Amino acid sequence: MKKAKLIIWVFLFSLISIFCSYHYGRLNAIESVMAYGGLDNLEDYFAREKYGQSPYYEVIDNIKVSVERVIKEKYFITYSWITGNQSYFGITLLIEHLEKMSLKKEYFQEIWLEDDLNNKYKPLSYYKLIDFPEDQPLGWKQVFFGKFEPLNKNAKLISLYFRYNNNLYKIKNINIE
């Protein structure tokens, strides 16, 4: 019994030591960067990052369409009443008017993808275009989510074609690996 308690105490002490040394090491690394890296303050260091900005976007007539997320969902489902491959490729787009003018769902016309192997993909019947945020929409921001058939396994890049408000947005060379 005493041996078990001793093992538990040693384990807990080791765990706390590891946590403290990790935390101290992270703080020490940031202080070293500030002291020897020529940074005046930590805010300048983190302000260089472009948080929340997608590298894949296009702006036409003050409407910006940007790729927020790509999803390669692979799974096979088996229930008593259904079996089959339920895999899909999903894409989430953020649509925003840069001058904060109103956007309408009727502006959406069509979407398709082309991979670097010249295969063309039309969306499945399921897609959503919602105002953002859903509970209190801003009016000038929307989110589009669409599902497509799984892409060719050898494809590495896709190009997105999104027709919205009579404009064709072409976002090319989106990395999907």
126-150 pLDDT, tens digit each: 788 988 888 888 889 999 999 998 8
Domain-embedded: residue 52: no
Residue-number span of the structural domain to which 35 is assigned = 2-47
Question: The pTM is what?
Answer: 0.65
* 76 shares a domain with 43: no
Tokens of 1: 């019994």
- Domain with residue 134: its CATH number is 2.60.40
* 96 shares a domain with 42: no
pLDDT tens, position by position, 4-44: 877 887 777 777 777 666 655 554 555 555 555 555 555 55
Distance separating alpha carbons of residues 112 and 106, to the nearest angstrom: 17
Contact 152, 115 (CB under 8 A): yes
Distance separating alpha carbons of residues 94 and 132, to the nearest angstrom: 9
How many Cα atoms occupy the beta-carbon half-sphere of 18 within 13 Å? 6
Report the chain's mean pLDDT, rounded to a whole number: 80
What are the angstrom distances between the C-alpha of 23 and each of 16, 27, 108?
11, 6, 48
pLDDT tens, position by position, 98-127: 999 999 989 999 999 999 999 999 998 878
Distance separating alpha carbons of residues 144 and 162, to the nearest angstrom: 10
Domain-embedded: residue 93: yes
Q: What percent of the chain shows pLDDT beyond 90?
A: 40
Could you count the other beta carbons within 10 Å of the beta carbon of residue 152? Answer: 13
Please state the rounded mean pLDDT for residues 67-86. Answer: 75
Domain-embedded: residue 114: yes
Distance separating alpha carbons of residues 116 and 107, to the nearest angstrom: 28
Interior angle at CA 69, CA 60 and CA 120, nearest 5? 70
Domain-embedded: residue 103: yes
Tell me how long the chain is. Answer: 177
| Domain count for the chain | 2
* 61 shares a domain with 41: no
* 115 shares a domain with 31: no
Reported confidence tier of residue 165, pLDDT bands at 50, 70, 90: very high
